Every structure is written in C-alpha cells, then in structure tokens.
Amino acid sequence: MAEITLTPRAAKRINEIMGAEPPGSSLRISVNGGGCSGFSYAFDITRSREAQDVAIERDGATVIVDPVSLEYMSGSTIDFVNDLIGQSFKIENPLATASCGCGTSFSL
C-alpha cells in the first residue's frame, strides 16, 4: 500500500486548528459511502486512536486514518488550499476515477 503524504501547508493548518483543541487531539480523515460521486471524505477532530489506525505525521501535525479508509486513500496527498471557492483541505487521490466539482466526493 502506497504512503499517504501530508504537505507542509496542510501540516501548518492542522497545527493552527489543533492549537485551539485539547491536548492529544488529532485530525481524523475517513472515507464514507455517499456523496455525489459515490464516496466522501469526513474530517473530524478526535482524541481517540484505535490500535489499527495509521498516523501520518509532519512538522508536529498528526492525521489519523482507519484501516478501511486507508485502502481507499492509498497514495493520496493531503493539502490545504486557499482559492476562489475558499479555504479547505484537498485530497489528491490517485485511486479516484472521478470526483465532484468541490472535491469532497469521489468514485473508484
């Protein structure tokens, strides 16, 4: 399974968000069924971590991904963008064959 990459911009933004959260908090990204393209990403702040979860770390920021979501995100890059639509985390997923216009859902 290919590694998930966290960009420096994403790490910086995660650290800013976590600065207002209780110690030990992390960003959890998961893949759920649904969305206009079939699957959607969910972003949650969590303080819990299961033994089989994978932690992606960069520059002090941590992203937690569960094993099932990891299969759908293999080789992805997590970035943070600030464009005309607004600020958001963007996931470049090489497994996705299509995505919706806003980039929050995808199909395989």
Q: What pLDDT, on the 0 to 100 scale, is given for residue 2?
A: 77
Q: What pLDDT, on the 0 to 100 scale, is given for residue 40?
A: 86
φ, ψ at 68 (rounded to 5°): -70, -45
Q: What pLDDT, on the 0 to 100 scale, is given for residue 6?
A: 97
pLDDT (average), residues 56-64: 95
- The Cα 57–Cα 17 span in angstroms is 15
Query: In the predicted model, what is the mean pLDDT of the chain?
Result: 87
Which range among 4-13, 40-49, 76-85 has the greatest average pLDDT? 4-13
99 sits in which H/E element: strand 98-99
